[in-house]
Amino acid sequence: MFSELGLIEPLLRALASEGYTAPTPIQVRAIPPLLRGRDLLGVAQTGTGKTAAFALPILQRLAEARRRPGPRAALVLVLTPTRELAIQIGDSFAAYGRHLGLKRAVVYGGVGQNPQVAALAGGSDVLVATPGRLLDLIHQRHVRLDGVQTFVLDEADRMLDMGFIRDVRAIIAELPVRRQTLLFSATMPAAVAGLAESILRDFERVEVTPSATTVERVEQRVLFVERGDKRMLLTELLKDRAVGRAIVFTRTKHGANRVAEHLEKRGVSVGAIHGNKSQSARQQALAGFRAGRVRTLVATDIAARGIDIEGITHIINFDLPNEPESYVHRIGRTARAGADGVALSMCDADEVVHLRAIEKTIRQAVPVDDAHPYHAAAIARLYSAPSAQRGPSAGPRRSPRAGGSGNGKVARHSRPGHGRRPAA
Binding site for ligand AMP (CB under 6 A): 20, 23-24, 27, 46-52, 403, 406
Q: Which is nearer to ligand AMP, 48 or 220 (CB)?
A: 48
Nearest-approach distance from CB 46 to ligand AMP, in angstroms? 4
Residues 77-88 as b or e (16 or more Cβ within 10 Å = b)? bbbbbbbebbeb
Strand order across the beta sheet in which 74-79 lies = 104-107, 124-129, 74-79, 150-153, 180-185, 40-43, 204-207
Instruction: Please identify, using beta-carbon distances, which residue of 155 and 319 lies nearer to ligand AMP.
Output: 155
As measured in angstroms, the least distance from the Cβ of 84 to ligand AMP is 11
Q: How far is the CB of 49 from ligand AMP (least distance, A)?
A: 3
Element (H, E) at 344: strand 342-347
Q: Could you tell me where the beta strands, DSSP code E, fall in 155-227?
A: 180-185, 204-207, 219-224
β-strand pairing of 74-79 with 150-153: parallel
Residues 119 and 67: beta-carbon distance below 8 Å: no
Q: How far is the CB of 398 from ligand AMP (least distance, A)?
A: 20
182 touches 50 (CB < 8 A): no
CB of residue 163 to ligand AMP, shortest distance in Å? 23
Cβ(404)–Cβ(47) under 8 Å? yes
User: Nearer to ligand AMP by C-beta: 48 or 130?
Assistant: 48
Distance CA 4, CA 44 (A): 22
CB of 97 to ligand AMP, least distance (A): 14
* DSSP designation for 350: G
Burial class of residue 249, CB neighbours in 10 A (0-12, 13-18, 19+): buried
> Could you tell me which residues come within 8 angstroms of residue 343 by beta carbon, excluding any fewer than 6 positions away?
218, 219, 220, 221, 314, 315, 316, 317, 330, 331, 334
Which residue's CB is nearer to ligand AMP, number 46 or number 364? 46
Least gap, CB of 298 to ligand AMP (angstroms): 32
Largest CA distance in the chain: 73
Nearest-approach distance from CB 212 to ligand AMP, in angstroms: 10
Smallest gap from residue 86 Cβ to ligand AMP (A):
13
* 24 versus 317: smaller Cβ distance to ligand AMP: 24
Q: Point out the residue whose Cβ comes nearest to ligand AMP.
A: 406
- CA 38, CA 364: separation in Å to the nearest integer? 37
Nearer to ligand AMP, 176 or 403 (CB): 403
Strand-strand pairing, 246-250 and 296-300: parallel
- Which residue's CB is nearer to ligand AMP, number 311 or number 403? 403
- The smaller minimum CB distance to ligand AMP, of residues 121 and 410, is found at 410
Q: Kindly tell me which of 99 and 372 has the beta carbon lying closer to ligand AMP.
A: 99
